[in-house]
Amino acid sequence: MDRSMGAAIVLVALAGTASAEPAAPGAKAAGEGEFTLGLVQKGLKAGLSQTDVVERLGSPNIVTRDGAGREAWVYDKVATETVSSGRHFGIGGGGLATGASTLGILGLSGGAHSEKTKASQKTITVVIRFAADGTVESFTFHQSRF
């Protein structure tokens, strides 16, 4: 057996020993468009117009009016965070064909797999009260994690 054929056999045998772990579903870095408490605290202030609020936070989930006709907007967001970690190991078999002879590792297989998943939820509720002229009068927020 020449040196290049031996190296090819080793590569085929080792091909199943490593696996890349995909990103956990729902896991992402804080980025643009994500609704966070920091975004609310930075983006809201008294005197903003309703248009400004929509541009900064998006559309509200609920819009209500009090007896005097003033609007209150509610943003109620829930996010599930899932973190997965695991270990994978596997050995695969294969073969090489050259001319009239076949050289290979046949019938060899195996594997192991273990995984842990942790999930949590976080909620943020923001209530914005508008004055009669349609500008932000006040706002409150609540954030929880469970």
Domain membership flag for residue 24: no
Amino acid making up residue 48: L
Question: Is the model's pLDDT at 28 over the cut of 70?
Answer: no
Number of domains composing the chain: 1
Q: Which of 80, 94, 135, 86 is nearest to 115 (CA)?
A: 86
Domain membership flag for residue 8: yes
Domain residues for 127?
3-18+34-145
Q: Which of 85, 58, 95 is nearest to 73 (CA)?
A: 58
- Other CB atoms within a 10 A radius of the CB of residue 130 amount to 21
Domain membership flag for residue 130: yes
Domain membership flag for residue 88: yes
Domain membership flag for residue 27: no
Predicted confidence at residue 65, as pLDDT, reads 95
pLDDT digits (tens, 9 = 90+) for 108-133: 555 666 788 889 999 999 999 999 99
Domain membership flag for residue 29: no
Domain membership flag for residue 69: yes
Q: What is the chain's mean pLDDT, rounded?
A: 74
Predicted confidence at residue 114, as pLDDT, reads 73
Model pTM above 0.75: no
**Average pLDDT for residues 94-110, to the nearest whole number?**
53
